[in-house]
A and B are shown apart, each in its own frame.
Chain A
Amino acid sequence: MELTTVWFAIIAFFWIGYFVLEGFDFGVGILLRVLGRDEPERRAVITTIGPVWDGNEVWLIVAGAMTFAAFPEWYATLFSGFYLPLFAVLVSLILRGVALEYRGKRDDLPWRDRMDTLIAIGSLLPALLWGIVFANLVRGLPIDASHEFTGTLGTLLNPFALFGGVAFTMLFVAHGAIFLALKTTGELRARANRTASATGLIAAVLVVGFLACAHGLRGDTESVAVAGAAAVALVAALVANKLGREGWAFAGTALAVGLGVASLFVAMFPAVMPSTLDPAWSLTVTNAASSAYTLKVLTVIAAIFTPLVMLYQGWTYWVFRQRVRVETVTVP
């Protein structure tokens, strides 16, 4: 396999990792004020993602840095083209990160209430915006011969992209609800379980609809097969959730997020940013890539350290595998 293809797969892998992991903590953040009815409950809700959300967010940073290193043209066009949406993502992630860290550092309820609002908004906006970004990538963008984006904010906010944004958001909400049901006990767990069923159903309809549109626009047999697998995983997750098998349900939504995003990458390949002006102007894995030497260096680094990262991040989830109990969470 060409190294450029390998690197396309690695970048896709990091984005998939990002959405599978941060997807559930976005969902938990969005549901924070809905499912957590009082301070101990909200604290329990946040504690479920407390030890891991920061590590999850690094998947985004690494996906970005890897793109910079392996596909500089892709990185440059993507980040300058999606200027305002990415600015909004940044502001949201800053507010969310600070709110998560600072929430417990002051012991008064109005403060925590404000931080909770910021966490909810800071989780909702990026979920929506990443959906908009990825839908636009699949749809194609006005990119000229010198690989510059020539559209405006209006170009990016088309109906299909907004559809993608809503589908992503609902999928993350369901993913987060199932995670909460998996990680909590008692009344909170039951409530999360019910929310997962309801939001999961809406998410399933939206995701199936969005994937059908996306692969109608730019799909092939392989991408449709992957998308189909995502839909099956999502439905299986809903069934498992109904049966109270939360572990399986979470595996199901994780798989649905992963396969859904993967299908978008497969549909695009070998383009990374298709041009709507002239297919010849599209950014592809070859014309956006770094030199062979750089890709070789990066491959060695990624081959050694990616498994290591997965190993110790996996260990974190193992250390904090216990369910969070509302009544004990106030005692550190």
Chain B
Amino acid sequence: MDTLDLARWQFAITTVYHFFFVPVTLSLVAITAGLQTAWYRTGKDKYLRLTKFYGKLFLINIAMGVVTGLVQEFQFGMNWSAYSRFVGDVFGAPLALEGLLAFFFESTFIGLWIFGWDRLPKRIHLACIWMVVLGTQLSAYFILAANSWMQNPVGFRINAERGRAELTDIGAVLTNKVVLVTYPHTIFAAFVVGGSFVAGVAIWHLVRRPGVDVAAFRTALRLGAVIVLVAGAGVALSGDQQGKVMTEVQPMKMAAAEALYETEKPAALSLFTIGSLDGSREIYSVKIPYLLSFLGTGHFDGEVRGINSLQQAYEELYGPGSYNPNIPLTYWTFRLMIGVGMASVGIAAWLLWATRRGRAPDRRLVWLALPLPLLPLAANAFGWIFTETGRQPWLVFGLLPTSAGVSPSTSMTEVLISMIGFLVLYGVLAVVEVKLMLRTIRGGLAGTSPEPDTPDDPGEAAKPLSFTY
């Protein structure tokens, strides 16, 4: 372990942790806004109660998303100052856009939404949560544009004198073909998480408390399940597009995803492989012929380049060294991302079928309440681990190796202190947040009465789900 390793672990851990809250927040705010709109349009009590219930769960999540996001911005400068010096001219612009356009929007309108229930006209209050939705979407786009630039740098030139990359075309950075496919993929994946969460909570209530708020939770269950199915299809389609773009801009990542060592034409898709520990030898595998060619190139007999030939090409281009990412890691996270994600879509479809035409859900279905939201959440994390480790050994693909980005003046002790600090803090916060979520979920819709609570009855109805502090 040296400073570089620690800084990498720190980035990996804090980013994956941060990303547990991001997809839940992104999708739950939109679902909450949809529910509130349904209430505004129909006036039905159940929509208001669902809005408040899921809105509260959204707020618990975004609190964690926001504070762990702070760490991300500081971390670039603290642990990766050489990277910041090299890319700031380009990479900083989407970050500044994210702050100025998205974060101000989110934070301001969330405050108005939380505290504005009885202060703002209904219409304006509804508009506030849609503003938050817009803010979260913009935020996702700009941060993905920044990340996509690291995957596929465009719109820049190298200034040798200053030893850095300089922006030449902001439009190119914001319309990078990688961000154009990554944004929909990430958003759809987030909605699989959010839909699963809404459906998972609803099925738990329907089974554990039959008779309490059945109508409202039936609506939530079916809404959540439909969102999962639609978003699941979106994930698959956008993922396919992303695979093609990646095969073009980072062929090594896709070769590593398949553990394809030799160039094949046509190439078969590996479903499952057990290899030697270093990943270089195959012991047992299941393959579908032609499929990889089709997925990567759009033609059934297209050529897919293997790791060995790419390694050779990169050595000629960038000099001697290894240009392989961690192959077992990329291979398995790629499969887990797809497999685990598809499993959640399957569960959602089953729940939808099991509760068709007013059928009461079977008691045994409660066992699906927990894995349903957790599986897509894990799939999201696997997806990020895959795409970020698949870019290695590059920090900015083809421009800056990861080892060159770390802060030269930062000592190992400093990184170690912050690493231990974050681990302890994040561990404690995880326990607090999960307990609070479970508590709120168990509380159900009770207390989310539609009428403003009367001042002479502040004890019971007003407090449990109030939106003030």
Contact = CB atoms under 8 A, between A and B. Distances in A.
A69 B418 contact: no
A93 B70 contact: yes
B57 to A, nearest CB: 10
B408 A106 contact: no
Contacts of A313: 104, 108
Contacts, number: 236
B440 A79 contact: no
A43 B99 CA distance: 30
Interface in B149-173: 159, 164, 166-168, 170
A73 B409 CA distance: 14
Contacts of A290: 88-89, 92, 166-167
A68 B469 contact: no
B323 to A, nearest CB: 27
Nearest to B88: A72
A58 B68 contact: no
A9 interface: no
B227 interface: no
B108 A291 contact: no
A104 B115 CA distance: 13
Nearest to B469: A104
B414 A84 contact: yes
Interface stretch (B26-34, B76-84, B368-376): B76-84
B466 interface: yes
A58 B106 CA distance: 10
B353 to A, nearest CB: 35
A94 B108 contact: no
B63 A101 contact: yes
A297 to B, nearest CB: 5
B167 A291 contact: yes
Interface stretch (B202-210, B244-252, B278-286, B457-465): B457-465
A51 interface: yes
A61 B77 contact: no
B interface, size bucket: 35 or more
Which of B78, B425, B436 has the most chain A CB atoms closer than 10 A to its own CB? B78
A65 interface: yes
Contacts of B468: 43, 47, 50, 104, 329, 332
A80 B410 contact: yes
Interface in A284-317: 290-291, 293-294, 297-298, 301-302, 305-306, 309, 312-313, 316
A161 to B, nearest CB: 18
A68 B111 contact: no
B212 interface: no
B111 A331 contact: no
B105 to A, nearest CB: 8
Contacts of A106: 436, 439
Contacts of B95: 65, 68-69
B391 to A, nearest CB: 21
B89 A294 contact: yes
B409 A149 contact: yes
A105 B85 contact: no
Given A47-B468, A87-B78, A68 B84 contact: yes
B312 interface: no
Contacts of A83: 78, 410, 414, 418
Interface of B: 56, 59-60, 63-64, 66-68, 70-71, 73-74, 76-79, 81-82, 84-85, 87-93, 95-101, 103-104, 107-112, 114-120, 159, 164, 166-168, 170, 407-410, 414, 417-418, 421, 425, 429, 432, 436, 439-440, 453, 455, 458, 462-464, 466-469
25 contacts: A51-B114, A53-B111, A55-B107, A65-B100, A68-B88, A68-B91, A79-B78, A80-B79, A80-B410, A90-B70, A90-B74, A94-B425, A101-B59, A103-B469, A106-B439, A107-B463, A291-B89, A293-B167, A297-B167, A297-B170, A305-B101, A313-B108, A319-B119, A332-B117, A332-B118
Given A65-B98, A75-B84, A94-B425, 20 more contacts: A47-B115, A50-B111, A50-B468, A53-B111, A58-B104, A68-B73, A68-B96, A69-B96, A72-B88, A72-B89, A79-B78, A80-B407, A84-B418, A290-B92, A291-B167, A294-B93, A294-B166, A301-B96, A313-B104, A329-B468
